[in-house]
Amino acid sequence: MKENVDTSTLHDAKIPRFWRDDAFPFIEARAVHDGRNVCYAKHTHETFSIGVITQGTCTYINERLRERIGVGSVVVINPGDVHACNPLGREAWSYRMLYVDVPWLAELQHELGVSKAADFRVFSTALSLCGELYRGLNQLHALLTSEAADPLRKHCALLTYFGELQRQLDPAPESSCEHNYKLARAAEYIRENCTRALKLDEICAAAELSASYLIRAFKRCYGMTPHVYLINRRVDYCRAQLRRGRTIAEVAIEAGFSDQAHLQRVFRQFMAATPGQYRRRT
């Protein structure tokens, strides 16, 4: 079921547009038509993300990659990758993004024979200039956000595009990151307890690591401190609750932010949109 929204605001090029549909709960789309004021702090997503630049140029950071990219570029962001995409000065740029739940994509990989296990296989490519993938994502984004297209057509298009993505881009080999089970346990503990105030000592206890080692190794592996990782997870929690139509004020307090204004500031840093803009959908 789609929400009724004030469509007059959707024609403002400076307002990010989000698409969601209850028929496809595993995917979300975003479009920004004027990104000159869209600035992100480095952040991560628990989803798989893929997007295209449709106008202008910007700076793309993904882990150790830092590139100036423009029209024709396809950005590929694995879950957990520390990334950001920001404008160059006052130069106009626009983009489209898709955010895909990992279990859905992992199941598709398994069906296609990419992975023998049920785990998601990350991609070794963070940036592609493949014209087929670029055109395909633009076409898929237009189809998904169309009111006229029926669900069957959309579902078939989703499977076709992400099947082509698997054929075009190679999965990465097993990660050589210092992602041992104790660090993974620390990250899991933060995720599961992200809505409450956490102390470093309790994270260390859950992971059975010293504080000095945890801080050093966690940042090396995840690209951010445990505190920034916690804020990321709180923003993800808020996104999930806002998609359910809950009020910004109650979600802010429940997620562990001091008040709605605090959530507004942090949400803008990580999503380059206000919670209210995110809550709307086309």
Gap between the Cα atoms of 272 and 265, Å rounded: 10
Cα–Cα separations (whole angstroms), residue 151 to 97, 142, 176:
20, 13, 41
Q: Could you tell me which residue, 19 or 9, shows the higher pLDDT?
A: 19
Lowest mean pLDDT among 31-35, 141-145, 153-157, 171-175: 171-175
Output the pLDDT for position 135: 97
Output the pLDDT for position 7: 39
Contact, 100 vs 75, CB < 8 A? no
Average of per-residue pLDDT across 100-116? 89
In eight-state DSSP terms, residue 80 is T
Q: How confident is the model at residue 275 (pLDDT cuts 50, 70, 90)?
A: very high
Output the pLDDT for position 2: 43
The pTM of this model reads 0.80
Cα–Cα separations (whole angstroms), residue 116 to 68, 79, 109, 113, 121:
36, 19, 9, 6, 10
Output the pLDDT for position 178: 44
Output the pLDDT for position 179: 52
Output the pLDDT for position 154: 95
Output the pLDDT for position 15: 76
Output the pLDDT for position 133: 97
Output the pLDDT for position 35: 73
| Residue 251 pLDDT greater than 70, yes or no | yes
Q: How confident is the model at residue 1 (pLDDT cuts 50, 70, 90)?
A: very low
| Residue 8 pLDDT greater than 60, yes or no | no
Q: What's the chain's average pLDDT?
A: 88
**Cβ count near 245 (within 10 Å):** 8
Output the pLDDT for position 11: 46
Output the pLDDT for position 9: 40
| Residue 191 pLDDT greater than 60, yes or no | yes
Output the pLDDT for position 111: 87
Average of per-residue pLDDT across 152-160? 95
| Residue 138 pLDDT greater than 50, yes or no | yes
| Residue 10 pLDDT greater than 90, yes or no | no
Lowest mean pLDDT among 110-114, 244-248, 257-261: 110-114
Contact, 30 vs 278, CB < 8 A? no
Gap between the Cα atoms of 31 and 20, Å rounded: 12
Contact, 92 vs 55, CB < 8 A? yes
Domains of the chain, CATH where assigned: 7-168 (2.60.120.10), 181-279 (1.10.10.60)
- % of the chain at pLDDT higher than 70: 91
3-state secondary structure of 60: strand
Q: Could you tell me which residue, 126 or 212, shows the higher pLDDT?
A: 126
Q: Residues, the chain, total?
A: 282
Q: Label the pairing between strands 94-100 and 27-32.
A: antiparallel
Written as one string, the DSSP assignment of 3-56 is PP--GGGGG-TTS-EEE--TT-TTEEEEEES--TT----SB--SSEEEEEEEES
Burial of 246 (0-12, 13-18, 19+ CB in 10 A): middle
Gap between the Cα atoms of 133 and 8, Å rounded: 32
Phi, psi for 39 (deg, rounded to 5): -125, 130
Q: What is the pLDDT of residues 34-78, one digit of tens each?
A: 877 777 888 999 999 999 999 999 999 998 899 999 999 999 999
